[in-house]
Amino acid sequence: MTDLSGKTALVTGSVQGIGMEIARALAGAGARIAVHGLAGDEQAREACETMEKAGAPEAEFFPGDLRNPTLIREMMAAVHAWGGTDILVNNAGIQHTAPLGEMPAETFEQIMAVNLHACFHTMQAALPEMARRGYGRVVNIASVHGLVGSVNKAPYVAAKHGLVGLSKVAALEYAAAGEAAKGGVTVNCICPGWTETVLIEPQIAARAKTFGGDRDKGVADLLSEKQPSRRLSDPSEIGALALWLASPVAHNVTGTAIPVDGGWTAQ
């Protein structure tokens, strides 16, 4: 049910964290992996080797600064020439926390560029070809902050809400592309809550300071405010869900925003 043999997947931000675990899950199902990220030669090589060890018949690194639409178009053209994009996972993201009145305008623009605008550009490049092939999967890694707000995260919340909305529009526009036998074309969001990644380390460190540097207590304090399960998610769990959404069996799941948030948005 999750066989992706013969498929090619581009996962942005796949040299670490959630992106790496998603790419690893897709590789384990037999997909070729187009690895992406801001990485040096060694890190890029290691990421590609990781994908091949996981089961990818081939893995190649594709650079591209997602703040730059021209570089995004060049990256998408290179992936297309390599074999096309059957599966697109927009995972790359950046974060900065500050009150709205103190948020640097340049920081706001950069977060919007990476977390939202880049997804528009990659989807615009990939979806028409997916429709022509009759099979395509877009999995956008949004956030619980694409469903609810939080203080001190204006650009991140704005971008992730925008990504959920953008994904719904794309899902509707391509819902009738392809057919069940071929797999169709779907667009969905995964909305993680607190997940064990480097992105949340600054927030954990800030909480830990109030407990004499005790990281475990800092994590517990952070979770107690929003996540009823009181448990962090592991990036591999997001990878498992992304794999299912990318599979042929999920042909009738489109336009969704699926929380993985320990009950955060159920409150």
Q: What is the DSSP string of 128-154?
A: HHHHHHTEEEEEEE--GGGTS--TT-H
Please name every residue paired with 190 in a beta bridge, in sequence order, or none if there are none.
141, 258
Report the distance separating Cα 130 and Cα 139, nearest Å: 13
Catalytic residues: 156
Please name every residue paired with 184 in a beta bridge, in sequence order, or none if there are none.
135
Please name every residue paired with 11 in a beta bridge, in sequence order, or none if there are none.
35, 89
Report the distance separating Cα 116 and Cα 124, nearest Å: 13
Report the distance separating Cα 266 and Cα 79, nearest Å: 39
Half-sphere exposure of 206 (CA within 13 A, CB side): 7
Pair type for strands 184-192 and 8-11: unpaired
Report the distance separating Cα 223 and Cα 252, nearest Å: 33
Report the distance separating Cα 68 and Cα 72, nearest Å: 6
Report the distance separating Cα 184 and Cα 154, nearest Å: 35
Q: What is the DSSP string of 183-194?
A: TEEEEEEEEE-S
DSSP at 195 = B
Pair type for strands 32-35 and 257-260: unpaired
